[in-house]
Structure formats: C-alpha cells, structure tokens
Structure 1
Amino acid sequence: MDKDLHEAARRGEDKKLEELLRSRFRDDSSNLCEHQLTAIAKDTILHIVAMYSGSVNCAEVLRHACPNLIKATNVNGDTAIHAAALSGHLELLKHLIFWAEGHDLEDGEPVIRAQNEDGETALDVGVRARNVEVVEELMRADSELVHIRNFKGQSPFVLASGSVGSSSVMRKIAQYMDIDGILEELQEESSTTVHPLISPQPSGLAEGEQKHETLSADSLETLGYQRRWNPLHHAAYHGITLNIEKALQRNIKYASEQDESGQCPIHLAASQGHLDCIQVMIRDLEDAIHQKNRDGQNVLHVVAKTGKKEIMKYLLRNLSPEFKRHINNVDNEGNTVLHLAVKNWHHAIVYMLVSEKMTALDAPNYEGFTPMDICEREMLSPPQFSQLIVLKILKIAKAESGRKYNRSLEGQENNEEKYKRKLEYYRGWIDTSLIVATLILAVTFAAGFTIPGGYNSQGMAVLLEKPTFCIFVFFNSLATYVSLLIIVILSRVVLTSDFDSLSTAVKVCTPLLGLAVFLMAVAFTAGVFSTTRNLAWFANTLLIVCMTLTIVILMLVIVLHMLLSADFHICFTFTYRVVVPLMLWLNRDE
C-alpha cells in the first residue's frame, strides 16, 4: 500500500487523502481497490479508516472515488463494516451502512450481511466487542442479522449469552426476537455444551424438554437451562422488559411458577436489580407481588436481602397501603423484611423501612429475636462502618429488643474472648488518640514560643498589636490546653480493664480531639496570614483557602459526632444524607 495513502487514512486527513487520490489515481481509481492493500492483512484504505481514524469525511472521499470498495474484504474476510463494528466508530458505521445500500454481494445478499472466514457478520463482531450502541445500530439497519449463524452454528444471541458477550448486549438483541426463538436458541446451545450422556427426563419438565447430566457453570448462570426456567424466568433474569410482556400475554401462569431453586420470576428480577421488569410485572399482574419463593419470602424480602435500594424505594413510594402491609410478612424462619435488611447490613434499606409507619420495629422472629437483637448479635468487634450506621438507625427509630442475645449460650470462654476483643478495640482507639493529642500538644506548645514575626529587643512579640496575631495566640493556647485535657483523661484510663471507664473516656475525648484539631487549624491560618499580610493578593488568597478547609474540618467533626452520638431524628437525617454517602465512597474499594 502506498505509504502516504496509508498515513492519511490512519490519521483521518481527508483533504490530503483526496489530493493523493486525484494525483496518483487520476485515470483509474478502481486500481485503489485492486492493488492498494496492506502486505499481510490485505486491508484496503477503507479498512484503515474504519480501524483507526473513524473519519466519516475520509470514507466519503473513498465512496466517491471507489464506490465498490464497501464490498472489499481483507485476508480474514472482514469488510470495512466489520472493522468499524470492532473499533466502535459509531458515526462511521452509520455512514458505511448507508453506503452499503444498493451494493449486493456475489450471492445477492446485502453487504451488511457479509460473513467473514469464521462465518461472523458485523453484528457478531459487535457482540464480541460488547458494544451496545454498535449492536443497536446494526439491528436497526437489518433485523435479519439476528438469525444469521456463524460456521459453528452460533447465533448473535447465543454469542451474547456466552462468555464473550454481556448481559446488556444480550438484552438489546432479545428485543428483536420473540420468546419462542430465544428459548429455542438457548436450548440448542445448552445441548451443544453438555455431556453426550443424557439422564432420564425429570417429571418437573415440560414435554419435549430434557435435563442433561452435566452443564458448565457459565451455561447454568447465563442460560438457566437446568433450573427449569420458563420464558418469564429468562426475561426477568436478563432484564428483557419486552419479552416479559410477551410471556405474560402468552401464559399468565408463568408468573407463579417456581424454578428448581424455588424462585418465581419476580424474585429473579429483584435479585438482579431489574426495576423496569418489576414495574411491568406489577402493572400487568398485581398478584405477582404476593408470590413467595421456597423460603416463604416475597419480593420485599428478596430486595432487603440483596440490597437493591432503588427497587425498595420504588415499591415503598408507589404501591398502595394494601401492598405495604406485606412489609411485616414473615418468611419460613419468621423474619420480616426489616430482619433481613439488618442481617445483611443494608443501611439504606433499613433507613427506608424504619421511615415507614407500617413497619413493625420490634417484631420477633421464630427464635425470638427482634431486628435490634439481630443487629447486636451479628455485629463484629470492632464493628464495621455500615454496622454502626444500622445500629444507630435502629436506636433513633427506638427499636427495642425482645430478648437480649444470651451470651451464656456460647460458653464462658467465648464470652471472655469477646470481652478481650472489645477491650483491645477501645485501648487501640485510646492509644491512637493519645498519640494524636501528644502531637497537637507538641506542635502548639512549640508554636507558642516560636511565634510568627519573632520578638523585639525587649522580648515582646513584634506583631503583638495585630488582630490576627492575637487570634493566633488565643486559638493556639486553647488547642494546647484541650490536648492537655485529653492526655490527662486518657492517661487515667489507659491501663484499666473497666469497660465502662474506657467507653466513657472514648465518648468524652472524641469530640475534644476534633475540637483540638479545629483550634489548631484556626491558629495556623491566623499565624500564616499575620506573616504574609503585606502581600495583599497572596495573603487574601491564602486566607480564603485555609478558612474554607478549616470550615470543612469543623463540619466533619460536628456531623461525625452527631452521626454516632446524636439521639434525635432531624440531626441524624441530615448527617445520614451528607456523611454516609461520602464515607461509603471513600471506602468503595473495601
């Protein structure tokens, strides 16, 4: 291939490309199609544009220079449409589809249906690339692509449902298929991935279906073939809203059928977080909300277990009071929705539930445990952040214990281990606080004698008459004595084994430590401003930045203290909305 042509196509330089075509292929532009190919892959100029630059202008230049180039293939049998689908250049793909109209292959098929050496169309390539937009554009241009199988007998839908695809791509393809077609392809694919030995047909399967002896884990997860799924199960699990409507129209009994694990379709949709599917099922079949799985759990129980807060928010906000009474329904173990939300530490769902007037906060399960009992029983030592939030929500809502968790059931040895862990937790916190308080004391004590501006010949501070210097001295002194107070308190209890003393010290010193940090920040800001005030623009900028950060520190100290110690609803609501999302975002990797 001509080096200059290759470089212009690769970079998307349409003006240069047009000039080269006119100067070098003035007499016979078709020579471009026949001879301008890369050495190994045999890619045309149009392939280069599709793979690299994605320039629509370059493609338009080539369309006028060589109209038949759209049909050209490389050594793998890929057309430029294949290349555009792989690289994800959506605008170029649209242009190539428009260009391909009116150009047929040798067998009379449209160019968009061209298959490469593996029998794959551009749609198959888009599926492998997991590009939903490319798949949607190709399906919109030619919906028949969904029925073209590669040389292994795999359709685009089967590719999407396997390890090379994605659920979002599969849902997009499924919108162009009917229920019967989906089930047929799923079952055909299942039969090609199982062991040839087939076990006798179980009584639970419909006539004509067979359950295979072995099936890969991936196939079980994506196909659900051995789970005795009906069409509604498939649509609910994969989030295909259109097929849910079709399945309900075909047979309304699908909604109440359980699979091998005892799950109804609405439970699968809830566990996967498909809110749109649940909306359709509730709209078309109100009884779906009453369906229980093998564990006696309705859709609210499943949502509480899996933590799908958007679904819970929708159900609580949009459904009638008659439905909301199901909040207090119990499963086979006597657990309400709140029990399960607490047990799985989904604090957002716990917050929604306790905000509902109909929620029974103190209902015991069959073991006699209320949600508060479960919270106290399951909490780790030291507790995780989400566990502290759940405990605080229940306390604010005034949830009570039916019977406290009986620690004697675990034996004296286990009790001693738990007691030791709690002591170690509090002592660790006290040790850390002592170190921080000592550092604050050292810094502020040193700053009190190495003051900004220094001393005059009489031993007095040079900046003594400046207001900002007075602010520095005042807040620095306060920080010094607050840190001293913390050290005195913690030094008194650091060696004790009295749990109540340790707990009280932690509660008292936590806000004091935050106060000391804030006072030190204010003193630092005032001191820095005092020494830079002669350069007004710099001093003012520094003051704004430092004061902003100081205010942020103060707010964090206040709201964190409110979050873990405030016992009134308004303060907790404000803190929960502000601090919890921030803390969870900071700890998202954990």
Structure 2
Amino acid sequence: MSGNEEDKDLINITINAAKRWSLDEDAQQASFEALFRRTDESGRTPLELAMYHNHVKTVELILREDPAYQNGQGSKNHGLLRLINQATDKKYNKNIVQLLSKTFHAGKPDLKDVLALIIAIQTRDTDSISKLLEKDNKDFLSFVDSQGWTPLHYAAHHEFDSILSVLIEAQEKVGNQFAFVDRVTTPFHVAAKCGFTSTVIRLLQLWSAPPSPDTTVDKHGQNIMQVRPASLSPYTAIDENGRNILHLAALQNKKEMVNGILRYCSSSYKKQLLSQKDIDGNTPLHLLVSRGCFIEKLIQYIAPDTSTNSQNWTPRDMLYFQHEIVGEQVQIKMAINDFNADPSRKLLSGSTQTKNTFSSLVLTSRREKKDIIFNEGQKLLMDVKNAKMEDNLQRYREGTNSQIVVSALITTITFTVGFTMPGGLRQSGGTNEGLTVLSKKAAFKIFMISDALALLLSICSLFIYFLENMSQDLQQVTRLHATTVGLNIASVMLTMFVFMTGTYVVLSQSLALAITICLIGSLFFVFSAVQLLRILYDRRVRKNKDHAHEA
C-alpha cells in the first residue's frame, strides 16, 4: 500500500477482505490489526505513507478502520501524538492534523489540553502555553505518551529553553517532578540526542538550582525538590541503550556540551558518570577518545583507565579504533604521553599504575601503522604551535618597544624631580645651607615618598622588559608582559600624584589655587578608574559570552 489517493479504493477493498477473513473461526484479530502495522522498506506504516503524500481521504479511511484508533483508543500506545507532531512540523495538510487530533482525544476530552500544550510547544506559542497553565485543572501536565514522553520531553526536543523552567515549576506543583528511571529516556537524553547544548545546560541548571519554597511545593506544602532521592540524577540516568548524557554528547563530538555537563556535575556523580558502560561496554571515555573529542581535564581519567568494552579495548586503545585520525586524537595522544611521562601528575590523579601493569590488546601492526600517522600529525601540530608562539612573541616584543619608552621617560622624570626640590634649597650659609626649605612640611614628605615609589616601579618595569626579551617561553613572556603593564600603570598614576603634591607644597600660601590644581589633577584618576572598569566589564562580558557559547 503506497498511500496514494488513487489507491484509496484498492486499500478499502483490501481492508474489507481482511476484515471478512478475520471473522472466520480460525482467524485471529491480531492478524487484521497487523495489516495496519506493516511497514515499507523505509519503516513507514500505511498511515504514515498517506500522511507523507498529503492524501486526506486515505488517512481518514485508515483512522476509521484501524482497530487501534476505534472506541476512544487513539491515545493508547500507538504513537499517534508523534504523528500529530510530525504532521505539524512538516506542514502536512491541515485536515490531516485535524483528523489525527480528533482521533487522539476521541472519548477523552481531557486530552485536548495535552494536545494543545504539545502543539503550542512545537510552534513556540508562549501565550497559549501561559493560558493553559493558568487553568485550575492541570492534570494534563501529568500526561505520559506511549514512549514515556512528557510535555517537558517535547520542550527539550524542540529546544524551547525559555519555557523549561515554567513547565518544571508547573509539573512540580501537581506532584509530577523530575523522574529518572533506568532504560527510560529523560528530557536530558532527548536534548543531548538532538545536539541541543543550551537545552542540556539549562535543564542541568534547573535541576541543580536551590529549591524555591514559594513555587516548588506539593499539595501538602512540602518542597518537592528537597525530597528528591539523592540516588537519582540526570548525570547517571541511562536510556534504552545504557547511555548517560555524557555518552550522547561524546557520540556527537559536542565539546561544548561535554564541558557543560562536567561543569555542573558534582564530584559525587562524576566517577559514576565517567565509568558507566553502554550496551557495547563503552564508557563515555571510550567514546570521547574514539570520536577525537579532546577535553584536557579528562586526560587524568583516560590515561590510567584500564576498563574495557565488549571488544576488550581500553579508552587509550580507542585511539587505534579507526585507521585514520579522527577529530583531535593527535592532541589526546600527546596529552596522554605527557601525563604518563610526568610522575607528579599520576600522583595527583591518584593513579598508581606502572607502565607494564596492563597489556593492550591492540595488534602491534595496527598500533605501529597508526603511530606513524600520529607522529606526522604531531609534527604538523607542533609546527603550527611553534609558528603561533613565534607570532605571539613577536607581537609582545613589538608592543614592548613603545612601553619601554614610557618606562624610561617616567624613570627620567621621577629621577630628575628627586633632585629638583620644590621651594628650592637654603642659600643663607651656616649648617642648613643646601638643605631643602620645605622639608618639614607633611605635603613635601608625601611628595618625596610618592616620587621614590614611582621611580622604583618604573625601574622595575625596565628590568622586567630586559628579562622578557631574553625569554623564549610564551607563557613566561605573557606573565612578564602583564606585570610590566601593571607597573607602568601604577607608575604613571604615581607620577600625577607627585605633580599634585609638589604643586600643593609650593602653593601652600595660595590655598585656593593649590586645591584647584589638585582637583584638576584628580580628574586623571577618575578617567583612569573609568577606563579600567570599562576594560574589566568588557572582559567579563566576553567571558560570559564564551560560557554561553559553550552552553
């Protein structure tokens, strides 16, 4: 049965013939129902084919004759809700959607709200969702379809992040909280399978967030989130294939999703999260390595791990699972080698395994062939890394030239000011000749201390510049460069303060003028503070954007 409109009469004849045959004493009703469950080579049933071809009459005929959809059974275990979503999503004929919807809630009017909510989620209709949630009777929030999906599953499937918290709060009010059952797909699994990193992260945030006593209470006034069993967790719940959300993220090589899961996963769940095995015996570490998903902080778990999958391969062995380089396997290989070569890192990770305590089952010939490719990839990677390091070093040194001039200028100014005393020297002869006239004034003492500090900082900055030019270590150069920038900023600000205190000393007899000049000079500090705060704010915004991008 192709589902074409031209074949409607043929389908009708076939159904009637099967119906008459099913009335025979030896016939079984299940055989007649199986007629509607048969699929083509693509796995589509007659109903799905009729929907695909947008043939309304054929859809109507099948819905009328299929025993599964008669007598108000349209909502029972036949995936009709999925077909409604499919028809809406793929913009099939509206009459098809209406026929499916009518059959779905036939004999069960309360399912109209379920269907309305699911369609509103699919079409991202926030207003309709809000109106539904305002109803006194919210039993539709407890709906679970034939595959265990709730409205929250559908929201995750359609990446409707903004409605997740509202749905969770509403479900908890009617006593339908997060439920984690082994071998049952959770909203977390749905989002992870679809590759929706932001949805996975948002769900984890809502799950790990502290409970709100104003909203998340059951009918007895008890906080539902507080009574959730500690053993149940979105991190360790597994789907029908035995996979947790980290398995699914690793399978898709979603580095941002993996990092997000690890960021929100508490230490009490992390070991189980990393060690759980799927139906093939693979842990998330096996899949991360085989897919070439390089997460540096997981190397301490991958390198010493000797757990094996159904093929007796360890996570390290998965580097040789494919004959070619996949993803970032070269970086993973280099990181594992660095880890094994550093005893201190082994000690910090808690690994006491020695090099010869485990024998790999990877064939030597296979390993040697792949190692040749790894060596070539490592050489290319190191060449790129060295070239990038040289570019960065050159950029730092070019910027250093102008900063050296600033440091030298401040050093010259502060050194000269130290011997050009405000108010001059005594010229009257006697024991006080050559001494400063204003040396006993408090402002003069502050002036000299500030000048000495500015000279110290600028000279230190010059000295560090010499060290920076001699170093070839990019990390050390970066650290030294940041230090010199900080010293220069401090010395410039102190230079302005030296000017203000020196002016105040020599104009102490004209107090109004001295204060005016000091106020003008203080505007520099206001300007500096505004610019520094702006830089810090921009850096914070960039950091938040990076986190959002990871999510």
Assess same fold via TM > 0.5.
no
TM-score bracket for the superposition, by shorter chain length: 0.3 to 0.5
- TM-score by length of structure 2 reads 0.42
- TM-score by length of structure 1 reads 0.39
Structure possessing the higher relative contact order (Cα contacts under 8 Å, 6 or more residues apart): 2
CA radius of gyration, larger in: 2
